[in-house]
Amino acid sequence: MPDKDKGIVNETRSLYHHLVGEVHRQAQRDRQAARRRPTAAKALFAACFIAGAFAVVTLVYGFITFPEAPIRQTANGYVSKRGRPLTREDYEQFKLWEKLVLVSFGAAFVTGFSAVAVEKMMARRAK
């Protein structure tokens, strides 16, 4: 291998080792920052995760339980989107599910945004 190629290889190795070291330093800073995360932010992130899981479970439950949604009220009673007659109880359960979907996704978004806001606010105070 000519000397010129050896120099390029050595320079490339040096740059690689420098970048690997930088990645390790950045990962260490991130781990330390995560440990310093305020308790309120940790609690809000946990609440966000729980609310998100509840929202997904609620959504999947509705897809399984109400495959012919939406259920609507007509002059002759309650029907699915395909015109299949349903009971008032089915209609009320569907309406409750719709409300739960809105509330659960809303809670997930609110807790997530709140967690990020608290974390940023605490970071600004720390500076």
pLDDT digits (tens, 9 = 90+) for 32-84: 766 666 788 888 889 999 999 999 999 999 999 888 888 888 888 888 888 88
Q: Both 7 and 67 in a single domain?
A: no
Q: Both 107 and 55 in a single domain?
A: yes
Query: Containing domain of residue 90, as a range?
Result: 38-126
Q: Both 89 and 117 in a single domain?
A: yes
Q: Both 24 and 43 in a single domain?
A: no
- pLDDT for 127: 63
Total domain count, the chain: 2
> Beta 72-74 vs 85-86: how paired, if at all?
unpaired
CA–CA separation, 51 and 12 (whole Å): 48
User: Looking at the whole model, is its pTM more than 0.85?
Assistant: no
Q: Both 81 and 57 in a single domain?
A: yes
Q: Both 21 and 60 in a single domain?
A: no
Q: Both 58 and 69 in a single domain?
A: yes
Give 119's contacts (C-beta < 8 A, 6+ positions apart).
37, 38, 41
Q: Both 31 and 47 in a single domain?
A: no
CA–CA separation, 100 and 102 (whole Å): 5
Q: Both 51 and 77 in a single domain?
A: yes
Q: Both 57 and 9 in a single domain?
A: no
Both tokens of 92, joined, read 């009320």
User: What percent of the chain has pLDDT above 90?
Assistant: 39
Query: What SS3 class is residue 86?
Result: strand
DSSP secondary structure code for residue 107 in this structure: H
Q: Both 60 and 8 in a single domain?
A: no
Give 9's contacts (C-beta < 8 A, 6+ positions apart).
1
CA–CA separation, 91 and 108 (whole Å): 26
Q: Both 99 and 50 in a single domain?
A: yes
